[in-house]
Each structure stands twice: as C-alpha cells, then as structure tokens.
Amino acid sequence: MFFSERYKIIQPLLKNSREAKYLVFDEIDKCKKVISEKSSKSEMESDIEQLSKIEHIGIPRITDYFKFNDCCCIVHEYIEGETLKEYIDKKGVMDLYEALDIFVKLLHTVKFLHDIKPVGIIHGNIHHDNVILIEDDVYLTDYGIKDENKNPYQAPESILGVKKSKQQDIYSLGMLFNYMITGSYKKPGYSEKNVNITDSLIIRSTSANFNNRFEDTGIMITECERLIRNLSCNSSKPNSKIIAINGSHEAVFEFAKYYSKASSDNTLIIDADILHPSFESDNYILNEDIQSMMDKVDKGEDIEISFKKAKACSRVYIIPSIIRIEGYENITFASFYNLLIRLTEDFNLIFIKCSDFIYDSLAINTYIISDQIIHIMSDPLADIKLFNKISEYLCSRHDIDNQRFNAFIYKEKTKNIIAAGIKENLLGEYLGSANSQSRLYAKDLMNIANKIRRKL
C-alpha cells in the first residue's frame, strides 16, 4: 500500500494480485480522486506518458502519477455520480430508447480507447459498477466490481488467460446492454424463434466464440443507430412493398416490368448499385439521381418531381445512383431511408437494386427493411454460390428471416442446374424462371416453388 502526504486514503475500492485501487482525498486540489496502484512491471507503466495525455468526455482524466517502492501509482479524477447498477436498482430496467442513448455514448468512449495510436487500449473491466451516470453524461471508469468472484461481464476466453482483445470488451458491452434492458444476465439464445434486432445485437456481441463477435465497436454503433432509426420510424414506416433485389440491370428491369404488369402498379427501381458493370444508362430514361434527391430531403426541400418512365412500354421508373465511386461514399442509410419514406407516397411497389457485395452497409440495411429479398440468377453455376453466401451471412449476422430470400432464374434452360443446387445449398425459396413470355403472378411462383420442393 502506498503512502503519500498529499493523497489520504478514504477507502479501498479494489484489490487483487495485479493491482489495488483506492478512493483518496487530494489535500492540494481539495477533492476526491482515485489511485490505481500497480506493480512496476505492469504493462501500463511504459504507456503512462501516453495515457496521461488522454482527454475524452467519457473518461476520467489522469492528473498525476508517482512511484512508491516497487509500485506505479496513477491518480485519476473521481467521477462522483450514480452507477448504472444503482440507477437500475432504483428505477428499474430501462426502456429501449433510454438504454440505447446511454449505450451509444458508452460505445463511442470504448471506440476512442480502442482507436488510440499506435496501440489501442483495451479496457478489460466493463460492467455496471464502472459506468457512471451524471445527468446526460456517461462515464466509463475502472473502479472495480463489488464482487470480483462473480463477474458475468467477463468474456469466456479471458478466464483462460487469453491476451486482452477488443472482442473481450465487446462481450462485456453486450452483457451490459442485456442487463440494462432486462435487469438480468440471461442472454437471448440462438434457438429462440423470432429473434428481434435487439436480441441479435446481444447474441452476436456475447458469442462464446470471439471470432463470431462484432469486429469492432464502430460496427456496433452503426447497428445501434439503425435500431434507433427503426424505433423512431415505426410510426412512419413505409406502407409500400419494398423488395431488395440483386442481379444484372437488364434482368432487374424485366422482373420489375412483369411484376408491375401483374399487379397493375407503377413500379420504382432505386438503383443503389453504382459499381455494377452491366449498367448502361443509354438504355433507359432516368430520373434525378439518388444523391441529389437525398440532399433535398435532408434539407427539408420538397421533391415534387414529374417522374419519367424508364421505357415507354412499361410502368417502371428508375432513380439512378451517381455513377462514380466517390459519390458512393456519400450515400448514408439515414438519408436513404428518409428518401424512401418520401417516395412511398408516389409508388406502391419499390425495388431497390443492391450491390452484390455483402459487406456493403447500405445493401445490408436495405435487406433488413425490405419485405422480400430476390436474387436473380443469370449465371446459376456462379450465382448460386453468391446467393447462398449472401443469405447465410445476413441471416446469421442480422435480423433477417431466410424465408424472405428468393432465387429467381432469368434463363429458362438453367432450371435443372438450379433445382439440383437447391437441394444442397439454397437457404431461401426458388421462385421459377423468367423469359419474355413469363407472367409473374405470386400464386404461379409459389406453385413452381412447391413443385420443386416435392421433386426434391
């Protein structure tokens, strides 16, 4: 235990073989502080200069450090507020809005630590006693946990002595979020039916296999912001049918044309796939591009547009993306969703042509809000693999039911190849084949799917 004329110990906060923490009173600054006493061989000693320069609204600042015998003593600000546990014990579990507001602030703090250069800092001790709430501010401290022998926030691999990693903090964050909205440590299970987006976030964060967790907290922030948008948009959720669709532009247009003919609806294609090599703008009459429309909606401007048909013989309209890679970076899902809400006033049926790249966040979010997900296969031997990869990834990592995935074949002659592939691989349903004579009625498509299932 250290001795200092300046810092008078009020009470111990934590003590184990690696470190001790004490609540102290600073006789010079006349306030409470926390001292972390670590072995001089501690891995933190070499980083103390770097750590002392850290300034972030959600992290107690280091105000001093000194050595005593063989120990390195680090002095932190003391954040005197209400712990998350005390708050929940007093007021009960949080509603989702309140929990997400606090959790996103906490995620930004952990992301700041993980992103410190040249080597990120792993907190390693995230739990309900180390999150302090003061009005609208959220602080992440490291004062220990009141019962170190029963720490449900500790990742399984950390018990085995595995080196600290971002995934250990992510596990703790997932457990913490679960505690905030349930008041318990029982996690939702993979086997439960109708797992919602919130449960999916917790399940993925707290996977026993750290390789299955989120890669970093930045992705968690994106998922939480999407959940907040979904909650806030429930009252204004699009009434139109939204279909996410992959495939060549020609096939997508033909599919939309037949679909609109069968349903007698004006149909809109939003082309969010600017990188696809099959796009030939000269083949269609295009309306104003996505980015320009999103900019208008974001500024509160009305988009009173006289839409033009893509081809005179159709009831299909196309909004293209900007055909340049640098424009792609400006397409954010929040702006895209606001535009979508506006367009549902004019169209009952909207196809969103997504990128084939499954890690594209715009495509993933589009899949999630869509009523149906269709992958049109023009080259089945190659496309069946891509379709399965997309559907398997998204169903396992996001809140998507695999029954919403449909495979649709653009060439009649490939039917046998695909039928064979369905038996072994296909996660969704096969809807049939299209050619210039096809009439795409939902009942007919389901009959085709049922016939194939019976044959298999």
Q: Tell me whether the CATH fold assigned to 82-232 matches the one assigned to 237-455.
A: no
Rounded Cα–Cα distance for residues 440 and 449 (Å): 13
What does each of the 456 residues of the chain score in pLDDT, given as a tens digit?
A: 788 889 999 998 878 777 788 999 999 999 999 998 877 655 555 566 667 777 888 888 888 888 888 788 889 999 888 999 999 888 888 878 888 889 999 999 999 999 888 778 888 889 998 999 998 899 998 865 444 556 889 899 887 878 889 999 999 999 999 999 888 888 776 544 445 678 888 988 999 988 889 988 988 998 888 788 776 655 455 567 888 888 888 888 888 887 787 777 888 998 877 555 556 667 788 888 887 888 887 777 777 667 889 888 888 999 887 644 444 445 666 678 778 888 888 888 899 998 765 556 677 778 878 888 888 877 666 666 667 777 777 776 666 777 677 777 765 544 444 444 443 444 455 444 544 344 443 454 455 445 444 543
Q: Which of 430, 356, 354, 361 is nearest to 397 (CA)?
A: 361
Give Cβ neighbours of residue 425 (< 8 Å, ≥ 6 apart). 384, 385, 388
Query: Hunting for tokens 């968690």 — which residue is that?
Result: 220
- The DSSP 8-state label assigned to residue 210 in this structure reads G
Structure tokens at 115: 């992103």
CATH for the stretch 237-455: 3.40.50.300
Three-state secondary structure call for residue 183: coil
Give Cβ neighbours of residue 136 (< 8 Å, ≥ 6 apart). none
Q: What angle do CA 346, 322, 367 make, to 5 degrees?
A: 60
Total count of residues recorded for the chain: 456
User: Residue ranges of the domains in the chain?
Assistant: 7-77, 82-232, 237-455
Question: pTM above the 0.85 mark?
Answer: no
CATH class name, domain 7-77? alpha beta
Kindly report each contact of residues 59-66 with a partner whose C-beta sits within 8 Å and lies 24 or more positions away, as own/partner.
Answer: 59/109, 59/112, 59/113, 59/139, 59/140, 60/34, 60/139, 60/141, 63/29, 63/33, 66/4
Rounded Cα–Cα distance for residues 193 and 371 (Å): 18
Query: Hunting for tokens 């750590």 — which residue is that?
Result: 51
CATH for the stretch 82-232: 1.10.510.10
